[in-house]
Chain A
Amino acid sequence: MASEAHAADKAAEHAAEGGSLVFHPMDQFIVKPLFGDGAVGMFTITNSTLWMGLAVLAIIGLLVLSTSKRAIVPGRMQSIAELAYGFIYKMVEDICGKDGVKYFPYVMTLFMFIVTANFLGLLPKSFTTTSHFAVTMVLALAVFLTVTILGFVKNGAGFLSLFWVSSAPLALRPILAIIELISYFVRPVSHSIRLAGNVMAGHAVIKVFAGFAAIAAISPVSVLAITAMYGLEVLVAFIQAYVFTILTCVYLKDALHPHH
């Protein structure tokens, strides 16, 4: 991303000037190649690739290995896997209805990837893949395309009734149709930036406090603040994954039952 290169330049400038902070709070988001110092191209293995791969491995570890014994009385790992499965299954069933359960594997995949990537990003020295708009935008666009295509396949032209609010007075409907249309196409933007923005902002705030910890007079306050922010970030990591998933379910419901 051009903006990241730009941010990296800014960080370098900042360090050269000897700014007030020891390091720039946005340094943690720089995408670097894992091997060598070459430019980042389409197929370069970067730290982002590494942490995405680790997230996938962690999910496999949690969902496949822990449930392979299939104990009647589940152990700790199996309980977590069952809890996650039941949690998402109930969400899909509640929001999309019985006929939405078919799309449960997709929603479960999204949730597990996002929540694992968020939690791995909270490890010290790690890289948060979901803090990048490029990553979340791909997830959100995939949802957007899936939902749009699914809506037309399931309902044909009837899907367009999503934009024609039949409960409103006739004179208002064309205006509402325009507003609904705009809000429909803005969905992938807000869907992706909500996740990346929240995760990125939280991590940046932690780093800003970490920068203040170098000043001896206020370091105890700053260490306390980091601890508090970290606790909040653990919560945010889960809630943002939950919100992303629940909105996916709402969009799926719109595609399956477009009539208001």
Chain B
Amino acid sequence: MEGDLAHIGAGLAAIGSGAAAIGVGNVAGNFLAGALRNPSAAASQTATLFIGIAFAEALGIFAFLVALLLMFAV
């Protein structure tokens, strides 16, 4: 086995992707719950849905960035 502590850290940082997945799932799930109650209002809110998903995903991206830095820059 090769690799050092930085690789372990990169693996740990990947946990952040899972957390981002929970966040994105929350946004999409709540959107669907709301959309099924009032389907006529759903179409006008898809842009908001994607903005919400993008913001929830941003924090997961930072975890990914940390993993990349640990893999290639440390």
Contacts and interface: CB of A to CB of B under 8 A. Distances in A.
Contacts, number: 36
B1 interface: no
Contacts of A95: 47
Contact of B72 (A7, A247, A250): A7
A193 B51 contact: no
Interface residues of A, number: 19
Contacts of B47: 91, 94-95, 246
Sorted from nearest, which 9 A-B pairs have the closest CB atoms?
A3-B72, A190-B58, A193-B61, A243-B54, A6-B72, A194-B61, A190-B61, A197-B64, A246-B50
Given A190-B58, A193-B64, A194-B58, A243 B50 contact: yes
26 contacts: A2-B72, A3-B68, A3-B72, A3-B73, A6-B72, A94-B47, A95-B47, A186-B58, A189-B62, A189-B65, A190-B58, A190-B61, A190-B62, A193-B61, A193-B64, A193-B65, A194-B54, A194-B57, A194-B58, A242-B50, A243-B54, A246-B47, A246-B51, A246-B54, A247-B54, A250-B51
Interface residues of B, number: 14
